[in-house]
């Protein structure tokens, strides 16, 4: 047993003040045979959850008892820092509240001025009085050179040092102040240590040693120095004495610390004494999900039953014995597991949305529950779809059920979030954090900056390689050379080292897109809260996985663009007198909808519009709802075009025999023809093959869905193999099972998710077939969303016989509108640079009186100069009597606008009209069609006229032999062809082994190209940079799917064609 415990250590969660992951520090401490270690991140407990899990893992894997102790370095007003350790749960709650107090208040104006490097909204300071208020249950250390005592001693001011110590004793009590001494091999520290020991002896305080750790090992100094430079916004060359003097602040072993303090063994032993007093770990967090306030005469269970049955009548009309049996079964289990309150609270949030006429739909495994369906939480009829409730809740599964709520993105989701904040105010609700880590781009940019590498080289690296993860040192080295760093650059080795070391370390804390945690007690006693960047939002200091692991229940309030579009669609249909009920349209399998899906005519359709999905649809040929759920789940773009057709598709088309690996798997895999497609099936396989218990299956589920760690996956797989060995499963079968599970991890999808998404996919496909005008209008009004740009959506609408009329100030509303069944009108929201206030003003003024002339329009609506120009450019002003064409408008709007005065205001409308008619016409020529096209793209990013490729084809007719997208189906397989068009999508899925998928749009449709990795490597820059491309290659036609196997790529030789377009790249 080691006789030293490190009680003062910072991890990278101290953001630019620590150099290693908490897990790495904990593992190193355990390797040194310490029994505990305290993590004291700066102004937060950010890393404590990770340290806690690392300690639990140690116990699980190696049987080591290791306690991850909690603490934090708290910054006081005046910038002195006090390290604080947590003794008890009260202490933890106090620390959380103390930190929250400072963080939510932010910096005062003076503090912000004095510390320009801090973020006034997110960094906070606490007063000594506040520390005193929350001192119970806490132990404080005298700290390091950032603390008041050491600062004073470094100045030689022993009186001030003692005064600060006395203050600390007054705040925490004598028994809770511990003197901390360091030996970092620095000249002068012994003088300070002697004084600290004297102070300790004088006031009867315990003295301990610590190494004030910043990293797990000596190499951490490099990152620590780089972070110091970043924090101070200087580079390493100019950082001077801001940098560390040596590399001694790493986690030292008890043996090293004992040797260092051989002359004072008691300060080493005292660390154990202090650690013994620290009873609290996150094991005893004390979080409770809020209780639901049931109405009088009810408890939670009875009220849930009543609500469920009330909902069942609404949903089913009549409660059959089958329904009753299922509901009773579910309610019994929910009640037994004491989850009734949780269901009611989630329903309460759903009701908040309903009250505001906001569409809401639960997804996740909740879709397996008839109770959730009846409560209105989900839209999937679990009984009708024959979904097993046990996949959602089972007696063996102790974790909280996972219910995610999809809401329309934008203001509507924000309204629901704010309602939840208000309901649990003031400190009962917060968003979970999202830890932003260093990735390729940020790692290179920031490490390059501290090494003073030219911006331009860093930019070039980021442009070409920023999005890819480069783990191999040689490859990274090579990529850096390609970005322009000279082979002999003296800083290249340091850059490679820093890049690799910083990769994956936390960079800053963001806000999770929708994860909310709530409690009816004070959430700031569970975890510190801080301000999010968004106004009126607060976040906790842990991310969603950490929260989940600690048993904190989160409800995901996710924003889906398609939900917003569907809600708009429904409203439009109602307004136009042909209402639809979303719940009803999914009930019948509509042949027209499936015909469209089979034809892969799915631009704009939820989930099945991607390039890969479109390539799969004609092969899978969905004819019923469950087929669509499979289609949603079977996202494997790489193998499909790469020649390796998915085994499910082969089996479905009869090209491959159905094989269950083992007959025992038949019940689990039958519905997907022996291929595990859904998460639930994989878990069942593990339970059958390796007798996995419920909790082990849960562990596997989390490993599959956990993107955080490959290590976690490897661990579970070895466990699975060991269990199968024990059960005597033959090696070949084991390989098949583990192989299918591992490949599943790349593309896996839970069945309930797939079904929930399939509902939206079906609804949106149905809308596209039966309510096309409403569908496209809703999509356009909710951009950006989905896969395609507005230009592509407009083009698709036209392909479906929808007439898209341009923006016109005399008729366009703020949003796009429907003028007739097959005619839509673009709204003012499509105009770039026209703000919503001006758009609303235009509409409001027009409703008062029509605009009779340009001057009338400008005087009444007062658009900015840029707004005037863009409206004139896109032809939106052409409707005015005195405007002949776009250039005419552009000429006239440049004339300075007179301020309205008395003379003007009483001028009659007829006079105005007369005056404008008399105005001379412009000397400018009318725009030619190509100029109009460019103006449309500049002003709106789309055109209602011909596609740019129609012009390009005319221009290039003698130079190229480009095939039109619509003609490709007429070609012969393996025929050499050339396609050209506007790049609308570039994809490089992780599962596609470096192959890339490029979609080119022309005036007839979209042509897809598969670019093998080696061809992509050759034409990387051309493919990633050019707006218009020509691709030559072999035509592939298989199962009604047409694509080009690319052999060559080049830019379209069409000069002067610059369009403001957007492509969907590498998402």
Partner 1 sequence: MFAVIYIPDFFLQAQLRDPHDTKPTALVKTAKKSNDSKARIMALNQAARDLQVETGMTAAQGQARCGELRILHPSEEAEAEAQRILLELSVSCSRDFEETGLGICTLDLMGTRCGDEWELGWKLVEELAKTSSLRAQIGFAETPDLALMVAQQADPVRSIAGESDDEFLQQLPIEALNPPPDITMVLTLWGIHTIGDFLALPQGDVAERLGPDALDLWERVSGKKSRLLRLVRPPEDFSQTVDFDHEVDTLEPLLFMMRRVLETICARLAAAWLTAGEIRLALHFARGGGYERAFRVPDPTTEVELLFRMLHAHLEDFEAKAPIITVRLEALPARGAKRQFHLFEPGLRDPNRFAETLARLEGLLGSERVGIPEMLDCHRPDAFRMRPFQEAITDQKSNAPKPEKSFRLGLPLRRFRPPIFANVAVSSTDQRPIQISSVRVKGAIADCRGPWAISGDWWAKESRWSRKEWDVEMAGGGLYRLACEGKDEWKVEGIYG
Total of residues contacting partner 1 (CB under 8 A): 56
Judged by CB under 8 A, the chain residues 206 through 225 that form the site for partner 1 are 221-222, 225
Q: Closer to partner 1 by CB, 337 or 924: give it.
A: 924
Q: Closer to partner 1 by CB, 360 or 834: give it.
A: 834
Q: Which of 332, 493, 784, 973 binds partner 1 (CB under 8 A)?
A: 493
The answer to whether residue 1053 forms part of the interface with partner 1 (CB under 8 A) is: yes
Helix, strand, coil percentages for the chain (3-state, nearest 5): 50, 15, 35
* Pairwise CA distance, residues 805 & 824, whole Å: 6
Handedness of CA 615, 619, 620, 624 (dihedral sign): positive
Q: Which of 70, 247, 443, 563 binds partner 1 (CB under 8 A)?
A: 247
> Least distance to partner 1 from the beta carbon of 251, Å?
17
- Evaluate whether 183 touches 189 at the Cβ level (below 8 Å): yes
Closest CA to 412 of 361, 353, 355, 351: 353
Q: Which of 891, 951, 1010, 1016 binds partner 1 (CB under 8 A)?
A: 891
8-state DSSP, 577: T
Q: Which of 1025, 1048, 1066, 1067 binds partner 1 (CB under 8 A)?
A: 1025
> Least distance to partner 1 from the beta carbon of 221, Å?
8
Q: Which of 388, 494, 687, 912 binds partner 1 (CB under 8 A)?
A: 494
Q: Closer to partner 1 by CB, 746 or 1021: give it.
A: 1021
The answer to whether residue 466 forms part of the interface with partner 1 (CB under 8 A) is: no
> Least distance to partner 1 from the beta carbon of 106, Å?
26
Q: Which of 34, 69, 675, 890 binds partner 1 (CB under 8 A)?
A: 890
- Evaluate whether 696 touches 686 at the Cβ level (below 8 Å): yes
* Pairwise CA distance, residues 277 & 247, whole Å: 31
Neighbours of 535 (CB within 10 A): 7
- Evaluate whether 634 touches 620 at the Cβ level (below 8 Å): yes
> Least distance to partner 1 from the beta carbon of 480, Å?
15
The answer to whether residue 185 forms part of the interface with partner 1 (CB under 8 A) is: yes
Region of 354-362, 370-378, 435-443, 1022-1030 interacting with partner 1 (CB under 8 A): 1022-1030
Token pair 């797990």 is found at 216
* Pairwise CA distance, residues 554 & 657, whole Å: 44
> Least distance to partner 1 from the beta carbon of 534, Å?
23
**Token pair in block for residue 638:** 């790489």
Q: Which of 45, 149, 213, 236 binds partner 1 (CB under 8 A)?
A: 236
The answer to whether residue 245 forms part of the interface with partner 1 (CB under 8 A) is: yes
Alpha-helical segments (H) within 321-454: 321-336, 340-355, 370-375, 411-423, 440-450
Closest CA to 431 of 443, 447, 414, 448: 414
> Least distance to partner 1 from the beta carbon of 156, Å?
3
**Token pair in block for residue 133:** 């208020």
Closest CA to 106 of 657, 531, 507, 585: 531
- Evaluate whether 91 touches 138 at the Cβ level (below 8 Å): yes
Token pair 């776009």 is found at 886
Helix, strand, or coil (residue 874): coil
The answer to whether residue 490 forms part of the interface with partner 1 (CB under 8 A) is: yes
Helix (H) or strand (E) holding 1043: strand 1041-1051
Q: Which of 579, 643, 730, 925 binds partner 1 (CB under 8 A)?
A: 925
Q: Closer to partner 1 by CB, 410 or 484: give it.
A: 484
The answer to whether residue 656 forms part of the interface with partner 1 (CB under 8 A) is: no
Q: Closer to partner 1 by CB, 133 or 1026: give it.
A: 1026
Region of 90-98, 696-704, 796-804, 889-897 interacting with partner 1 (CB under 8 A): 889-897
**Token pair in block for residue 132:** 């005193």
Q: Closer to partner 1 by CB, 136 or 463: give it.
A: 463
Q: Closer to partner 1 by CB, 427 or 885: give it.
A: 885
Neighbours of 361 (CB within 10 A): 25
Region of 459-467, 508-516, 545-553, 707-715 interacting with partner 1 (CB under 8 A): 459-467
Neighbours of 1049 (CB within 10 A): 22
**Residues near 848 by Cβ (< 8 Å), separated by ≥ 6?**
none
Closest CA to 143 of 134, 154, 133, 132: 154
Q: Closer to partner 1 by CB, 900 or 925: give it.
A: 925
The answer to whether residue 484 forms part of the interface with partner 1 (CB under 8 A) is: yes
The answer to whether residue 455 forms part of the interface with partner 1 (CB under 8 A) is: yes
Q: Which of 456, 575, 710, 881 binds partner 1 (CB under 8 A)?
A: 456
The answer to whether residue 156 forms part of the interface with partner 1 (CB under 8 A) is: yes
> Least distance to partner 1 from the beta carbon of 920, Å?
9
Helix, strand, or coil (residue 8): strand
Judged by CB under 8 A, the chain residues 926 through 985 that form the site for partner 1 are 927, 931, 935
Q: Closer to partner 1 by CB, 464 or 835: give it.
A: 464
The answer to whether residue 924 forms part of the interface with partner 1 (CB under 8 A) is: yes
The answer to whether residue 873 forms part of the interface with partner 1 (CB under 8 A) is: yes
The answer to whether residue 1028 forms part of the interface with partner 1 (CB under 8 A) is: no
> Least distance to partner 1 from the beta carbon of 437, Å?
23
Judged by CB under 8 A, the chain residues 352 through 411 that form the site for partner 1 are none
Q: Closer to partner 1 by CB, 815 or 986: give it.
A: 986
* Pairwise CA distance, residues 108 & 114, whole Å: 10
* Pairwise CA distance, residues 855 & 847, whole Å: 17
Neighbours of 1 (CB within 10 A): 7
The answer to whether residue 1021 forms part of the interface with partner 1 (CB under 8 A) is: yes
Region of 270-278, 489-497, 508-516, 670-678 interacting with partner 1 (CB under 8 A): 489-497
- Evaluate whether 413 touches 352 at the Cβ level (below 8 Å): no
> Least distance to partner 1 from the beta carbon of 158, Å?
10
Q: Which of 129, 241, 657, 902 binds partner 1 (CB under 8 A)?
A: 241
Q: Which of 214, 248, 699, 916 binds partner 1 (CB under 8 A)?
A: 248
Which residues in 880-906 are b (16+ Cβ under 10 Å) and which e? Answer: bebbbbbbbbbbbbeeeeeeeeeeeee
- Evaluate whether 893 touches 853 at the Cβ level (below 8 Å): no
As to burial, measured by CB atoms within 10 angstroms (0-12 exposed, 13-18 middle, 19+ buried), residue 400 is middle
The answer to whether residue 188 forms part of the interface with partner 1 (CB under 8 A) is: yes
Region of 112-120, 526-534, 745-753, 868-876 interacting with partner 1 (CB under 8 A): 868-876
Report the DSSP pairing between strands 538-543 and 823-825: unpaired
Residues in the chain: 1067
- HSE of 329 in the Cβ direction (CA atoms, 13 Å)? 16
Q: Which of 295, 317, 654, 923 binds partner 1 (CB under 8 A)?
A: 923
Q: Closer to partner 1 by CB, 240 or 654: give it.
A: 240
Q: Which of 460, 537, 712, 805 binds partner 1 (CB under 8 A)?
A: 460
Which residues in 539-577 are b (16+ Cβ under 10 Å) and which e? Answer: bbbbbbbbbbbbebbbbbbbbbbbbbbbbbbbebbeeee
> Least distance to partner 1 from the beta carbon of 646, Å?
34
- Evaluate whether 308 touches 371 at the Cβ level (below 8 Å): yes
> Least distance to partner 1 from the beta carbon of 829, Å?
22
Neighbours of 739 (CB within 10 A): 11
List interacting residues with partner 1 (CB under 8 A): 155-156, 185-188, 190-191, 221-222, 225, 236-237, 240-241, 243, 245-248, 451, 455-456, 459-460, 463-464, 484, 490-491, 493-494, 498, 869, 872-873, 887, 890-891, 894-896, 923-925, 927, 931, 935, 1021-1022, 1024-1026, 1051, 1053, 1055
């Amino acid at each position: 047993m080691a006789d030293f415990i490190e009680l003062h250590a910072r991890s990278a969660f101290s953001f630019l003040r620590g150099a290693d992951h908490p897990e790495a520090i904990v593992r190193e401490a355990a390797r040194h045979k310490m029994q505990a270690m305290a993590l004291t991140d700066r102004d937060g407990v950010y890393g404590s959850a990770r340290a806690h899990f690392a300690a639990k893992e140690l116990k699980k894997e190696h049987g080591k008892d290791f306690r991850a102790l909690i603490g934090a370095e708290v910054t006081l007003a005046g910038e002195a820092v006090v390290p604080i350790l947590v003794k008890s749960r009260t202490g933890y709650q106090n620390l959380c509240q103390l930190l929250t107090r400072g963080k939510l208040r932010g910096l005062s104006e003076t503090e912000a001025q004095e510390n320009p490097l801090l973020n006034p909204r997110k960094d906070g300071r606490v007063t000594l009085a506040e520390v005193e208020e929350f001192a119970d249950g806490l132990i404080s250390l005298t700290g390091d050179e950032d603390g008041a005592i050491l600062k004073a001693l470094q100045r030689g001011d022993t009186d001030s040092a003692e005064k600060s110590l006395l203050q600390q004793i007054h705040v925490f009590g004598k028994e809770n102040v511990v003197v901390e001494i360091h030996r970092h091999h620095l000249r002068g520290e012994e003088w300070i240590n002697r004084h600290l020991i004297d102070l300790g002896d004088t006031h009867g305080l315990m003295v301990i040693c610590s190494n004030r750790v910043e990293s797990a090992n000596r190499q951490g100094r490099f990152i620590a120095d780089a972070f110091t430079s970043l924090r101070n916004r200087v580079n390493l060359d100019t950082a001077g004495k801001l940098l560390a003097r040596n590399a001694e602040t790493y986690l030292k072993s008890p043996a090293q610390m004992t040797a260092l303090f051989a002359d004072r063994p008691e300060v080493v032993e005292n660390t154990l004494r202090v650690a013994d007093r620290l009873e609290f770990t996150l094991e005893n967090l004390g979080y409770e999900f809020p209780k639901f306030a049931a109405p009088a005469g009810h408890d939670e269970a009875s009220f849930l039953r009543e609500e469920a049955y009330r909902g069942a009548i609404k949903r089913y009309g009549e409660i059959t014995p089958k329904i009753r049996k299922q509901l009773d079964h579910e309610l019994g289990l929910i009640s037994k597991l004491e989850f009734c309150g949780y269901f009611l609270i989630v329903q309460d949030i759903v009701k908040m949305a309903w009250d505001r006429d906001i569409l809401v739909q639960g997804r996740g495994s909740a879709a397996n529950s008839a109770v959730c369906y009846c409560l209105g939480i989900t839209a999937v009829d679990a009984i009708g779809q024959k979904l097993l409730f046990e996949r959602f809740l089972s007696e063996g599964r102790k974790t909280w059920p996972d219910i995610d709520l999809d809401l329309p993105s934008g203001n509507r989701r924000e309204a629901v979030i704010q309602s939840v904040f208000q309901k649990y105010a003031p400190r009962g609700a917060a968003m979970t954090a999202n830890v932003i880590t260093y990735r390729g781009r940020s790692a290179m940019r920031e490490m390059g900056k501290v090494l003073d590498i030219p911006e331009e080289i860093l930019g070039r690296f980021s442009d070409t390689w920023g999005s890819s993860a480069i783990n191999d040192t040689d490859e990274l080295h090579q990529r850096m050379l390609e970005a322009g760093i000279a082979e002999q650059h003296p800083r290249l080795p340091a850059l490679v080292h820093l890049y690799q070391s910083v990769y994956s370390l936390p960079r800053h804390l963001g806000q999770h897109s929708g994860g909310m945690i709530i409690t009816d007690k004070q959430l700031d006693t569970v975890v510190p809260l801080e301000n999010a960047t968004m106004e009126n939002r607060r976040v906790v200091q842990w991310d969603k996985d950490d929260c989940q692991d600690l048993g904190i229940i989160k409800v995901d309030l996710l924003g889906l663009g398609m939900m917003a579009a569907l809600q708009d669609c429904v409203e439009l249909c109602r307004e136009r007198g042909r209402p639809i009920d979303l719940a009803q349209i999914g009930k019948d399998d509509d042949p027209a909808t499936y015909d469209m899906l089979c034809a892969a005519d799915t631009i704009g359709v939820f989930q099945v519009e991607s390039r890969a999905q479109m390539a799969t649809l004609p092969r899978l040929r969905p004819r019923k709802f469950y087929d669509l759920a499979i289609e949603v789940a079977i996202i494997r773009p790489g193998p499909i075009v790469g020649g390796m057709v998915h085994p499910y598709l082969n089996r479905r088309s009869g090209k491959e025999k159905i094989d269950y690996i083992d007959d025992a798997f038949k019940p689990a895999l039958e519905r997907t023809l022996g291929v595990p497609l859904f998460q639930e099936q994989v878990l069942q396989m593990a339970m059958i093959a390796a007798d996995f218990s419920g909790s082990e299956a849960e562990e596997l589920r989390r490993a599959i869905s956990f993107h955080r760690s490959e290590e976690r996956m490897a661990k579970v797989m070895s466990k699975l193999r060991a269990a199968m060995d024990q059960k005597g499963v033959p090696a070949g079968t084991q390989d098949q099972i583990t192989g299918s599970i591992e490949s599943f991890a790349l593309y896996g999808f839970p069945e309930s998710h797939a079904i929930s998404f399939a509902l939206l996919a079906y609804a949106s496909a149905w809308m596209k077939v039966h309510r096309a005008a409403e569908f496209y209008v809703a999509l356009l009004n909710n951009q950006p969303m989905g896969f395609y740009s507005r230009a592509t959506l407009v083009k698709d609408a036209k392909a479906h016989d929808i007439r898209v009329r341009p923006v016109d100030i005399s008729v366009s509303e703020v949003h796009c509108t429907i003028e007739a069944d097959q005619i839509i009108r673009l709204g003012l929201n499509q105009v770039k640079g026209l703000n919503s206030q001006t758009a609303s003003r235009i509409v409001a003024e027009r409703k008062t009186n029509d605009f009779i002339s340009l001057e009338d329009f400008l005087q009444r609506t007062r658009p900015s100069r840029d707004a005037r120009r863009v409206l004139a450019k896109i032809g939106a002003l052409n409707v005015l009597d005195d405007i002949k064409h776009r250039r005419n408008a552009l000429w006239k709007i440049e004339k300075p606008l007179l301020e309205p005065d008395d003379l003007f205001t009483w001028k009659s409308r007829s006079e105005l009209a007369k005056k404008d008619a008399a105005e001379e016409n412009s000397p400018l020529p009318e725009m030619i069609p190509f100029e109009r096209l460019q103006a449309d793209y500049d002003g709106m990013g789309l055109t209602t006229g011909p596609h740019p490729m129609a012009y390009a084809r005319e221009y290039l007719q003698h130079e190229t032999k480009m095939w039109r997208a619509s003609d490709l189906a007429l070609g012969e397989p393996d025929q050499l062809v050339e396609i050209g068009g506007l790049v609308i999508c570039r994809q490089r899925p992780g599962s596609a082994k470096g192959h890339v998928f490029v979609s080119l749009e022309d005036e007839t449709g979209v042509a897809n190209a598969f670019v093998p990795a080696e061809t992509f490597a050759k034409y990387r820059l051309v493919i990633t940079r050019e707006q218009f491309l020509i691709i030559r290659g072999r035509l592939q036609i298989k199962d009604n799917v047409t694509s080009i196997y690319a052999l060559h790529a080049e830019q379209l030789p069409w000069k002067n064609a610059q369009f403001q377009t957007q492509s969907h790249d590498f998402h």
